[in-house]
């Protein structure tokens, strides 16, 4: 089951220069910064009520964010839905005909198991599913 919008991912050319902009915009401080080597991204998170904003900067040229920024100026990159059971939800969405980028969840930022759906099957929107890791 999809429970809520967990976060919106925003691609930026530089987290260093984006941080003061988002701190001023949201009136709050960044609460977490984390590098996800497997994804080639540096992330920074802001709380916005029940949801979050995730800033994403590429850490190498092969990063999906580097490719995105070569075609776009930056800005909205993906929407992340929190689910109660990511394995079940991936099966459900595959059955519904959605194209999965990850058929099995992987480790993401902010203590989450994540998987992405291909924008081809979601009217152009990159969708992330995430579930809190049980520690």
Which residues are at the interface with Zn ion (CB under 5 A)?
A: 9, 54, 80, 128
Q: Which is nearer to Zn ion, 6 or 97 (CB)?
A: 6
Q: Which is nearer to Zn ion, 29 or 106 (CB)?
A: 106
Q: Which is nearer to Zn ion, 54 or 82 (CB)?
A: 54
Q: Nearest to Zn ion by Cβ — which residue? A: 9
* CA pair distance 102, 118, nearest whole angstrom: 9
Supply the DSSP string of 18-79, one letter for each residue: HHHHHHHHHTS---EEEEEGGGTEEEEEEEETTEEEEEEEESSTTSHHHHHHHHS-SEEEEE
* CA pair distance 96, 112, nearest whole angstrom: 24
């Amino acid at each position: 089951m999809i429970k809520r919008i967990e976060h919106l991912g925003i691609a930026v050319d530089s987290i260093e220069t984006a941080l003061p902009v988002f701190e001023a915009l949201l009136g709050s401080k960044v609460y977490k910064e984390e590098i996800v080597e497997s994804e080639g991204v540096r992330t920074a998170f802001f709380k916005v009520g029940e949801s979050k904003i995730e800033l994403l900067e590429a850490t190498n040229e092969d990063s999906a964010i580097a490719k995105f920024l070569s075609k776009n100026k930056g800005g909205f990159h993906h929407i992340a839905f929190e689910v109660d059971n990511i394995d079940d939800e991936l099966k459900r969405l595959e059955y519904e005909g959605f194209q999965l980028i990850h058929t099995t969840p992987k480790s993401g930022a902010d203590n989450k198991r994540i998987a992405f759906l291909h924008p081809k099957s979601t009217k152009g929107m990159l969708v992330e599913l995430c579930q809190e890791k049980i520690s």
